[in-house]
Structures are given as C-alpha cells and as structure tokens.
Amino acid sequence: SENLGFTVANNQAIAKSNGKYVLLLNCDTEVVGDALVTMVAYMEEHSDVGVLGPQLRYPDGDIQSSRRRFPTMAIAYLESTILQQWFPDNSILRRYYIVDVPDDAIQEVDWVVGACLMTRREIVDQVGLLDEGFFMYSEELDWCYRIKQAGWKVVYLPAAVIIHYEGRSSAQVVPARHIYFQSSKVRFFRKHCGMASGELLRVFLLATYAFQLCEEAAKWLLGHKKELRAERVRAYWQVLRSGLTGRRRDVPAKRA
C-alpha cells in the first residue's frame, strides 16, 4: 500500500520466492534471447559462483558499465561528485569501473549492478536478505560485499545480454536521486569502514552541494539560464536540508 523503497520491495519478492536461484531484474529491462537460460547454465556449471551479472546494454546497443571493483574512500569522494565533473577521466575511477579488462571477457569482479543480478537460494539463507537500511542504491554493492566475505565469487558474464532502459545524463537535477544515492554511499562506508569515515564523507558531500548551490546562484544572478539555475538551486537546497542522513522522511517516498 506504500512505497517502502527498492530494497524492501525486492526483499518482499525474495521472501515469496522458492526457486533454486533468485534473480533481481529491474522493470526497465528487456531480456535478450536466452540470457537467463545462459546465466542459470553458468551457475549450474560453477558451484563456487555466488552472484552472476550479465552484460547490460543501452537500447541503442552501447554497453552500459555494470561491473565494479569495491570502492575505496578515494572513490567515495570522486564518484558522482563535483570532483568527477572536474576530473572525469582519471586512473582511480578507471580502475573502479574495470576499464582495464575488456567488456566481452568473462571475469571475476567485486560486484555487479543490481539491474540484473542472479544469486543462489542457499546464499540468501547464509548471508541474509538485502540490507533494508539502503532505501535504494548501494544495496547490491553491500550484498555482494557480504557474499564475497562469505567466500563466494561474483562473476560478470557477457554472453548473457540485458537491455537496460536507464536514463542517460540530463541537464536537470533530480534531488531525490542525489539524496538516495549519496546517503546510501555514506551508509555503506559507515557500515564497512567505520562511523568516522562515513561521517567525514557525509560532511564532504554536503560541502560539495553547498558549493554547487552557490555556483548556480551566482549564475542566476548573472542572468545565465535563470530558470535552469533556479531549479538547480532548489534541488541542491533540498539535498542540503536532507543532511544525507538516509532517513526516509527526508525525501518523498517515490522512485526517482
């Protein structure tokens, strides 16, 4: 009767399922050919693989980045922040996105994007469900982290292809998306790197949004695309008001 978040919804579905394998599959996806059959066959043949992710593609056929190494604190400060805008092509992010390994190679990775993710029933029983403290974003990262800690492998399988109709870059800023993404990032580092690391990251992220708010306000005062600048000021102000605490009352309970 209410939207409790992406993670809670998936857990509700997993609790009702009873198969040997569990598949997370976003509603904005399209299965290409025998992708799911290919994934099940691979899991059947490799009993040490706990999580399997396919190759994700945009509707135009371009490959969508969906495999990662675990993030370091440097990644936390770079990814999806103003620093990434200033330094978009740097060695730290390239390593994180596994740019050094071809997209068409089967490979063991640290985690895969949850738009399509297959795991085993026994793993759910062993490590538990998704952490519902993540309203949305980073829940699959946390799950893969716990699964790998339990001794299982995470594999990227390019032979299985899924079309993911994810929105590409937009000139508009959606505050809820920023709040969910960044507060989930803070939660992950607080959970796995300690309270101090998470809190320092939260303060840094809020500082970047304060800077961007001032920058957009200055451009508005100069008369440059005033409607767009006003929209961004409002969005960044909402992010700042949230405090990136991850509390659900901070933002509307609806998908971004």
Q: Note the pLDDT tens digit of each residue in 202-216.
A: 999 999 999 999 999
For residues 31-39, average pLDDT: 97
Residue 250 has pLDDT above 80, yes or no: no
For residues 24-38, average pLDDT: 95
Confidence grade of residue 167 (pLDDT, cut at 50, 70, 90): low
Q: For the purposes of burial, counting CB atoms within 10 Å of the CB of 94, is it exposed (0-12), middle (13-18) or buried (19 or more)?
A: exposed
Mean of all residue pLDDT scores within the chain: 92
DSSP string for 133-187: T-SSSSHHHHHHHHHHHTT-EEEEEEEEEEEE------SS--HHHHHHHHHHHHH
Confidence grade of residue 3 (pLDDT, cut at 50, 70, 90): confident
* pLDDT tens digits, one per residue of 133-156: 998 899 999 999 999 999 999 999
Do the Cβ atoms of 132 and 11 come closer than 8 Å?
A: yes
Residue 123 has pLDDT above 50, yes or no: yes
- β-pair partners for 169: none
pTM: 0.90
Confidence grade of residue 248 (pLDDT, cut at 50, 70, 90): low
For residues 223 and 109, give the distance between their C-alpha atoms in angstroms, rounded to a whole number.
Answer: 47
Note the pLDDT of residue 5: 81
* Cα torsion angle, 74, 154, 104, 21, sign: negative
